[in-house]
Chains A and B, each alone.
Chain A
Amino acid sequence: MSPEPFLGDVAHTPVRHHILSVLVENKAGVLARIAGLFARRGFNIYSLAVAPAESHARFSRVTIVVDAESAPLEQIMGQLDKLVNVVEINDLAPVDAVERELLLATIETDVANRTSLLDTLANAGAAIIDVDPGAVTVMLAGTPSACDALERALEEFARVELHRTGRVALPRLGRAATA
């Protein structure tokens, strides 16, 4: 489950990455079943995000970015579909999806770097959400490529910590998702 960063913007995301939006029953052990399946079949996961599904407390939505080269997408979806707790799988090709990801980072600040840091944040559209005399915590909710760009830009600063959530996605309007 190494969150290998995506390079390039959405249009240039390699085709081998696919987003599976998976509706699952909200039962104990469901994540273990999914993770176990991927592990034992040798399918690679790039990122995985889980949250209660919109309408029902009964279901959760798992957004899995898979490496469609470790196994054919058809095989990954067919095996996933056999998990009894998996209710629905939507496969989103990167070009058919709008994707967003959240990045949080804590950066050491001092008088010398403050201006350039503020510039970097402003350029990226990132916000400061926590401050103390020696550090700030910043946030960006954006496309995976925007998060990539900010992550690279922050390399010139002393980073205390940086976390990314992995992406969530919805079908691009006007395009049908393939069930």
Chain B
Amino acid sequence: MQLTGAQALIKSLEQEGVDTIFGLPGGAILPVYDPLIDSSIRHILVRHEQGAGHMAEGYALATGRPGVAMVTSGPGATNIVTPIGNAHMDSTPLVVITGQVATGSIGTDAFQECDITGITMGITKHNFLIQSAQEIPRAVAAAFHLATTGRPGPVLIDVPKDVTQSMMEWWYPVTIDEYDLPGYRPEVPLDDRAVAAAVALINEAERPVLYVGGGTLKSRAAKELLAFAERTAMPVVTTLMARGAFPDSHPQHLGMPGMHGMYSAVTAIQRCDLLISLGARFDDRVTGKIAAFAPDAKIIHVDIDRAEFNKVRQVDVALQSNVAVALTALDAGGAMPRNLDVWWKTIRGWQEAFPLVYDEPASDGLLRPQHVIEAIAAKAAPGTIVAAGVGQHQMWASQFWKFEEPGTWVNSGGAGTMGFGVPAAIGAKVGRPDRTVWCIDGDGCFQMTAQELTTARSEGIPIKVAILNNAYLGMVRQWQEMFYEERYSEVYLSADLPDYVKWAEAMGCVGLRARTLQEMHDAIDQANAINDVPVVIDFRTDAAEKVFPMVASGASNDDIMVHPSQRSAQ
């Protein structure tokens, strides 16, 4: 069967089971948009290519399936660089297709030419510049294989215009050998000696902690984690990337560690004698000052990526493995720490002394952002997916929402990309139309990518957006307040400009505003009653609120600052 390269590209995506592409056309990718009309694949036309990338990420984080985005060459390609970098930091499986100028024009500074494979070399797991139409099926199959196996990540396919216009004889690779990836070995057999060494360390431990990272979700290991944790009775912490991997309602869960982590989670790590890292990477936002991190702990590090071992912290046992496989092996090996009653008694003491708190909601005046999140959570359907922007509101969302299952937290961790929230929520809703999707956003973040609500309205994607409008780039304001003597430099945004309600309405969404407790409850109820169009609520929150606990950048986790009301207990 003879096909054009463009037809072959679309047919290859169909072969990979793609149901949705997020994208925006232009000259170099035009040939591919023609056969798309006849395809079963849904295309979602974004208003900015950054939106396409973050939507694909949200789709991937909510479903576990790779997200797909397609854009044109030059500025279309550079506009999607931020989401590619974001997905790279968070190991999110993406396949991004970019148009390119014709092969004969490459290197001539042709109209809308840019070296996108060069630009994204350091922020993709791999990328391809396709040279002939015949290669397209192999590149697509390989791209999906690379994006989703081993440590997942973004893969980019750059397709010159003449390649999509020329003819090829249709074929599709059926075995991995045909992908032509002689240097790619994502899985290695489990090292029995390392398993035995890990079991020996666990069996001696008196103060162990399970340090659960995003790799646990990537490994789909929530079930194995629950079984292992319950059998061994060990305390569990889940990083920002792992929220939902272990139920927040579980009594063994201490919550999130790190810069804005729970006091008990941070301190349990500091005092533990064995830290078992499950798909976590000792990020500086978790470790604080590395030399002072978990000083008494032996380290067992489970990771599919061997380059993570000893990168930041010297490990005692490295287990190169998918987390589910490793936990099963540790179970089979008889891993069982000593009696942990004393350890738990200490931990319970920290939990009682330093729970998560915020000041009482004032009956007049501005809303407490934490209270708004708790109110939304209390009224949310079970299984609601939460996406967030980046800033204070993101930390409060992670702290105050109770996550019970994988795929319910959609967040930008490693890169901290403002503007992630709205498009990621849209992508999540496309992937999980059966679920309610809330975006907890900041006023600063919202202004970066809000135009995608036009996309959501026109495509019929009814997400709900809560803007915690503190009129500030709040997280930066918090740092200036605490570390720059309250010298506020370029952080004020205004609560009223833009008018978020009118803006929402202009984009075909329902816009609501809440200034008082009563308005807050009414607005949430109203939003919950609307299921056909997107809703945006402008919650007026107190700019003076700060995120606690907090470990200052570069400080030891021992110097954690708790909420002012708890300082006397410290």
Interface status of B311 (Cβ within 8 A of chain A) = yes
User: B306 touching A84 by the CB < 8 A rule?
Assistant: no
Report if A78-B181 is in contact (Cβ < 8 Å); known contacts: A33-B121, A84-B125.
no
Asked if B118 is an interface residue, CB under 8 A from chain A, the answer is yes
Number of A-B contacts (CB under 8 A): 46
A82 touching B309, Cβ below 8 Å: no
B393 to chain A, nearest CB (A): 31
Nearest chain A residue, comparing its CB with the CB of B308: A78
The distance from the CB of B111 to the nearest CB of chain A, in whole angstroms, is 23
Stretch at the interface among A7-15, A21-29, A99-107, A157-165: A21-29
A-side interface size class: 20 to 34
Q: Which residues of B contact A87 (CB under 8 A)?
A: 182-183
A25: shortest Cβ distance to chain B, in Å?
Answer: 6
A72 and B310 in contact, given A40-B122, A84-B146 (Cβ under 8 angstroms): yes
Please, which residue of chain A has its CB at the minimum distance from the CB of B127? A29
Cα-based distance from A82 to B183 in the complex (angstroms): 9
Of the four ranges (under 10, 10 to 19, 20 to 34, 35 or more), the interface on chain B belongs to 10 to 19
Docked Cα-Cα span, A85 to B335, in Å, equals 38
CB-based contact B183/A79 at 8 Å: no
B104 to nearest A CB, angstroms?
16
What are 8 contact pairs spanning A and B, CB under 8 A?
A33-B121, A37-B122, A75-B307, A75-B311, A81-B306, A82-B305, A84-B181, A87-B182
Name, among B121, B181, B308, B309, the residue most crowded by chain A CB atoms within 10 Å (CB to CB). B121
- Interface contact B310-A74, CB-CB below 8 Å: yes
Determine the main DSSP class of A at the interface with B: mixed
- Chain A 16-57: CB-based contact to B (< 8 A → 1; otherwise 0): 000000001100110011001100100000000000000000
Selected contact of A36 from candidates B122, B146, B306, B307, CB within 8 Å: B122
Interface pair B118/A32, CB less than 8 Å apart: yes
Contact residues in B for A78 (Cβ distance below 8 Å): 305-309, 311
Cα distance A83–B127 in the bound complex, in angstroms = 10
Given that A74-B310, A78-B307, A79-B307 are contacting pairs, would A84 and B184 also be in contact in the complex, using a CB cutoff of 8 Å?
yes
Is residue A140 within 8 Å, beta carbon to beta carbon, of the partner chain? Answer: no
Is A126 an interface residue, CB under 8 A from the partner?
no
Q: Once bound together, how far apart are the Cα atoms of A29 and B181, in whole Å? A: 15
**Of all chain B residues, which has the CB nearest A23?**
B183
Q: B122 — nearest CB in chain A belongs to which residue? A: A40
Cα A108 to Cα B117 with chains together (Å): 46
Cα–Cα distance between A29 and B131 once the two chains are bound (Å): 13
User: A28 CB to closest chain B CB, in angstroms?
Assistant: 7
Asked if A82 and B121 sit within 8 Å, CB to CB, the answer is no
A58 to B125, CA, bound (A): 21
Closest 5 CB pairs of A and B: A78-B307, A87-B183, A84-B126, A78-B306, A79-B307
Q: Give the distance in Å from the alpha carbon of A29 to the alpha carbon of B122 in the complex.
A: 12
Q: A28-B129, A33-B121 are in contact. Are A82 and B181 (CB under 8 A)?
A: no
User: Which chain A residues border B183 with CB–CB below 8 Å?
Assistant: 24-25, 83-88
CB closest residue in chain B, given A58: B182
Known: A25-B182, A82-B307. 20 other contacts (CB 8 A): A25-B183, A29-B117, A29-B118, A29-B121, A29-B129, A32-B118, A32-B121, A36-B121, A58-B182, A75-B307, A78-B306, A78-B311, A82-B125, A83-B183, A84-B125, A84-B181, A86-B183, A87-B182, A87-B183, A88-B183
